[in-house]
Amino acid sequence: RPVVTRPETQAIDMNSRSNTLADRDIVPSDQTFGFLGLGMMGSTIVKDLIYTKHKVVVWNRTIDKCQPFVDAGAEVKDTPMDVVEAADIIFCCVSDPKGAKDLVFGNCGVLQLKDLRNKAYVEMSTIDPETSMDIGEGIKQCNGRYLEAQIHGSRQEAAEGMLIILAGGDRTVFEECHSCFKTIAKNTFFLGTDVGNACKVNLILQTILGVSLVGLAEALALADRFSISLNDIIDIFDLTSMKSPLLLAKGKEMAKGDFNPQQPLSHMQRDLRLVLNMAENLDQSMPVTSITNEVFKHTKRLGYSEHDSSAVFVRSRF
Ligand code: NA7
């Protein structure tokens, strides 16, 4: 088993701005936006929302992470429930379905407020359709409005304001989030009022990504066994009709052994697990995705959870 160094945690640069923001001509909504979860994605999004003059109230489980946002003008609250009390529209962006549910149904969670009239809840954490429906139902039972707004894209794309938003649920909330979505995303899709559809679309896109990465890793590992230069393979790949910006970038990372987490491997494996659960419920056979999931699971066991998904190459080289 190789000795694996954890990737360095990158501090959020509060002064960096995506070049795209200047051209977007954003008129901030005058509503107050709550934000639960200041991980890499949440931080990047909130930083840009503050920059575009949105009123923001934040909370994060590890409270220290809130300070730079308070310094930049946001208000901080002690619990998710307090954020809901102080805001009109509340975004949530945490690691997984369990975390997303805890924040809504748990102690000091969103539903402790009981009456969510005039409040809207927007789930940005990557979750499965069932979790989204449960959250949506809980919010509606307390008279609140619910939108799932899945964010598709890497941390780099978030930093450049180039995410894609896949939304479903309450259309009025979607419209009221317009200036926020315009700040953080290059495209925004409303996929209908049925809660769950946006989660399905996001996970389907993640399936394409996961399977492609494992294929790329195996092919490059074979080249490596033949002592063929990986850079030559990538240069030739770039000339073919198979090339894509993402596969080229990931191929270069694999060749360099640079697994700085743009999309952490643990998130990729979580997504594949959610995809396989969805498929199981439908008796849909997904043999390639199942094997892809096993490959990512094994790479996680080797110590690469927090590295980029491209670290799957390390396992392929064994
Ligand atoms: P990160 O950088 O790993 O951050 C994860 C965030 O989720 C971070 O704020 C965590 O709080 C928070 N978290 C995780 N579990 C919980 C629970 N149980 N309760 C409360 N808060 C929790 O992930 P990213 O920002 O890159 O990604 C976030 C989502 O966006 C993810 O679903 C992606 O697929 C899209 P902490 O700071 O550790 O206290």
Which of ligand 1's atoms lies nearest the C-alpha of 43? 25
* Pocket test residue of 95, 96, 135, 305 for ligand 1, highest count of atoms within 8 A of CB: 95
User: What's the pLDDT at 2?
Assistant: 63
Give the distance (Å) from ligand 1 centre to CA of residue 40.
Answer: 8
Work out which ligand 1 atom sits closest to the CA atom of 62.
39
pLDDT of residue 15: 80
Cα 16 from Cα 58, distance rounded (Å): 20
Q: How far is the CA of 158 from the centre of ligand 1 (A)?
A: 15
Q: Residues lining ligand 1, judged by CB closer than 6 Å? A: 37-42, 60-62, 65, 93-95, 99, 102-103, 125-126, 151, 267
The residue nearest atom 8 of ligand 1, judged by CA position, is 39
User: Atom 30, ligand 1: which residue's CA is nearest?
Assistant: 125
- Ligand 1 centroid to 274 CA: how many Å? 17
Q: Can you tell me which atom of ligand 1 is nearest the CA of 37?
A: 9
| Closest atom of ligand 1 to CA, residue 151 | 35
Quote the pLDDT of residue 249.
96
pLDDT at 14: 82
Q: What is the mean pLDDT of each run of 10 residues along the chain (318 residues)?
A: 76 77 90 97 96 97 96 97 98 98 97 96 98 98 98 93 97 98 97 98 98 98 97 97 95 96 96 98 97 98 96 93
Q: What is the pTM of this model?
A: 0.95
For ligand 1, atom 16, which residue shows the shortest CA distance?
A: 99
